[in-house]
Chains A and B, each alone.
Chain A
Amino acid sequence: MATVLLVGAVVALSLGLYARLHTASHQTIFTLGFSGLLQMKAWLTTAAFFFILIQLVSALWTWDRLPGKPRQPSWLGNLHRWSGSIGFSLTLPVAFNCIWSLGFVTTTLRVLVHSVAGCLFYGAYAAKMVGLRARGLPGWALPVLGGTVFALFLTLWLTAALWLFTRHGIPLT
């Protein structure tokens, strides 16, 4: 358990330190066809949000916490693995631009919360991935780690994508 948390802490700290020390370039490197950097970030995060909702449902299903306790189909594990992997991969171009172009910013409460949650999210994800493969974890460890990943992602989405959408209206691209 200590190793798992240590890995998460190291990942979160190194991301934070790098983003803080690196001078933000404020360059738009790629937008993947979206109208701008922030719009791309917002839409990719929203797409990842969709997959992460699947994560939440399939995790609750795996742990028999869905109402009515439906039978678990054989593809449930694969659904959880695939939706998680795709969702996570969608966040990477976002994080790349966060770190490279914008950096760790503390000027307002919103961006401070977003910066901290961003670092913690990848730390929590790393801890969850190591935790999945570790022996001797207490039974509550994986649900707590997974729940932490979900809560941090929700924070990230609320402090960035939702903010952008409510501020300027929803940009279609």
Chain B
Amino acid sequence: MTDPLVSRRSLLRGALVTVVAGAAGYVVANRSSFAKRPGGPSTGYGSSAGTSHLLAEVDKIPIGGGIVVASAEVVLVRNEQGVVHGLSAICTHEGCTVGAPQDGVIVCPCHGSRFNAQTRSGDQWSGREAATHGTRRRPGRGGLRPMKRWWYHAPTVLWLAATGFTVGALIGLH
């Protein structure tokens, strides 16, 4: 049995990036003035009631901070310009649900992993645990082998996130 070309972990990460960007696109589009409002004309695409997929009221997200939507496993962060982005609330270390950002830092309650809350679409986790547990090296056959550097993966993350955002926005407009 050979190594799969795409590991389950990479696949999950790719899916995560796409879904998180999709959630962000959905939120942005759904809050825009172009989104179909409840009580508007029937779209033929199911209910247009906007609240059924609502993650949070944007006004409830503090500027420069964020909130955890535990049911959706998403952290919604809002930057100084008021733009909202969605990040996964699942810690990359052991999978705990992280806390709300404090002073721009998301801290995981389980083992203290720290993540930068202003990272735009959840593709650039940074912090102590992520840095020491395998972003640089991962075990492979014959011992440790270096990971491909970030600029190898970044283009994939870029187009996956852009695609997710676009599809999320299309859904969000309904």
Contacts and interface: CB of A to CB of B under 8 A. Distances in A.
Interface of A: 18, 21-23, 25, 27, 29, 78, 81-82, 84-86, 88-89, 92-93, 95-96, 99-100, 133-135
B158 A85 contact: yes
5 contacts: A23-B44, A85-B156, A88-B159, A92-B166, A133-B5
B45 A92 contact: no
A134 B155 contact: no
A22 B45 contact: yes
Interface string B124-155: 00000000000000000000000000011011
B100 interface: no
Contact of A100 (B6, B151, B156, B173): B173
Nearest to B6: A133
Contact of A78 (B34, B152, B169): B152
Contacts, number: 48
Contact of A93 (B43, B159, B166): B166
Contacts of B45: 22
B156 A134 contact: no
A96 B25 CA distance: 12
Identify whether the interface residues of B are mostly helix, strand, loop, or mixed: helix
B163 A27 contact: no
Contacts of A82: 151, 154-155
A78 B163 contact: no
Contacts of A78: 151-152
Interface residues of B, number: 22
Contact of B158 (A22, A25, A89): A89
Most chain B CB neighbours (cut-off 10 Å) among A18, A81, A88: A81
Contact of A85 (B2, B34, B155, B169): B155
A29 B170 contact: no
Contacts of A81: 152, 155-156
A78 B155 CA distance: 9
A96 B159 contact: no
B51 to A, nearest CB: 22
B166 A134 contact: no
B27 to A, nearest CB: 15
Nearest to A93: B166
A45 to B, nearest CB: 15
Contacts of A25: 34
Nearest to A101: B34
A100 B170 contact: yes
Given A22-B45, A29-B34, A95 B166 contact: yes
Given A85-B154, A96-B169, 18 more contacts: A21-B44, A23-B43, A29-B32, A29-B34, A82-B154, A82-B155, A85-B159, A86-B155, A89-B158, A89-B159, A95-B166, A96-B166, A96-B170, A99-B170, A100-B170, A100-B173, A133-B5, A133-B6
B15 interface: no
